[in-house]
Structure 1
Amino acid sequence: MTYDNKVMNRVKRMEGQLRGILRMMEEGQDCRDVITQLSAVRSGVDRAIGVIVSENLVECVQKAGENTEEINASIQEAVSLLVKSR
């Protein structure tokens, strides 16, 4: 699977947020502000996982053509990945 710039930009944004959180911790900022930023990163991770799984699922279904067994296996794998990520 190839990852498009949208997904990579999401991950880069989270990377920047994590660096900012570390800075906030080093500066002794209020825990509510730190938790708010950590929650934003967690939401970003969840969204990135959803985008990656859905794009991969679309790709797998297109490759499977009309092979329903292969399509069903791809769907089950996608659901399993989403469940595992929680």
Structure 2
Amino acid sequence: MADKKAYLNRLSRMEGQLRGIGKMVEEDRACPDVVTQLMAVRAAMDKVIHLMVTENLLSCVQDQEAQDPSVSLDEALKLLFKSKS
């Protein structure tokens, strides 16, 4: 992982958010407030997943490109984003 510290910081923030959500549940806070916080944690988790997968993809393609110059990073990214459409 290129930026391990950044990932760990993001994960620590999510951990704190989850503890806060646990407190909200203990205090019988309103459901919409709890759900809003849960959605924020989910969005943060999705962002970490996206960053890690992207980093891994780039690394794999660059390694493959070094072995076979016909492999293009641009082509791999086009395929990735085309598959998400």
User: In the alignment, which residue of structure 2 is the partner of 1:27?
Assistant: 27
TM-superposed deviation, 1:4: 1.5
2:20 equivalent to 1:8:
no
Q: Between the two proteins, what is the percent identity of the paired residues? A: 46
Deviations 1:14-34 (A, max 9, x none): 111001000100011111110
> In structure 2, what residue type is equivalent to 1:50?
H
Larger radius of gyration: 2
Q: Please give the TM-score of this superposition, normalised by the length of structure 1.
A: 0.72
Does 2:58 align with 1:55? no
Segments of structure 2 that go 5 or more residues without pairing to the other structure are: none
Equivalenced residue count is: 74
Using structure 2 for the length normalisation, give the TM-score.
Answer: 0.73
Q: Where do 5+ consecutive residues of structure 1 fail to align? A: none
Partners of 2:67 and 2:47 in 1: CA distance: 29
Alpha-carbon distance in 2 for matches of 1:8, 1:59: 20
Task: Give the alignment's Cα RMSD to 1 decimal.
Answer: 2.4
